[in-house]
Amino acid sequence: MTRPEYAVVTVYSTSHALRAEKVLQRVGITNKLIPVPRRISSDCGVCVRILQVDAEPARRALEAAGVEVEGIQSL
């Protein structure tokens, strides 16, 4: 079995991550809060992991809900 391809949504703070999580849950996009991978940022916070295939729908949903996103990157 191949490991699914993931992307991470990076945000400015844990509060923003929790808000992003809520929005994604509402629109049915599978997600999980994880520590920000070091190669993406030296920040010590959390980010939202999603499936790579959901990157675009996630971006749109977050934008529509007014959640500020730092970036969405492949893992």
Partner 1 sequence: MIYFDNAATSWPKPPPVVEAITNCISEVGANPGRSGHRLSIEAGRIVYAAREAVAELFAARDPLRVVFGQNVTEALNLALRGLLRPGDHVITSSIEHNSVMRPLRALERRGVSLTIVQCSPEGFLDPAAVEAAVRPDTGMVALNHASNVVGTLLPVREVGQIARGHDLLLMVDAAQTGGAYPIDVESDMIDLLGFTGHKSLCGPMGTGGLIIGERVDLARLEPLKRGGTGSRSEYEEQPGFLPDLCESGTLNVPGLAGLRAAVRWLLERGVEGIRARETALTQSLLNGLQAISTVTVYGPLDNELQVATISFNVSGMECSEVGLRLDEEHDIMCRVGLHCSPAAHRTIGTFPAGTVRFGLGSFNTVEEVDLALAAVRTLAEEA
Q: Which of 12, 25, 71, 74 binds partner 1 (CB under 8 A)?
A: 12
Our finding on whether 33 is near partner 1 (CB under 8 A) is: yes
Q: Left, alpha or beta for 36 (phi > 0: left; psi -120 to 50: alpha)?
A: beta
Is residue 5 part of the contact set for partner 1 (CB under 8 A)? no
- Are the beta carbons of 29 and 61 closer than 8 angstroms? yes
**Per CB under 8 A, 13 contacts partner 1:** yes
Does 42 bind partner 1 (CB under 8 A)? Our answer is yes
- Rg for the chain, CA atoms, rounded: 11
Which string of b and e fits 2-17 if b means at least 16 CB within 10 Å?
A: eeeebbbbbbeeeebb
- Of 1-9, 11-19, 23-31, 52-60, the window that binds partner 1 (rule: CB under 8 A) is 11-19
The footprint of partner 1 (CB under 8 A) covers 12-19, 33-36, 41-46, 68
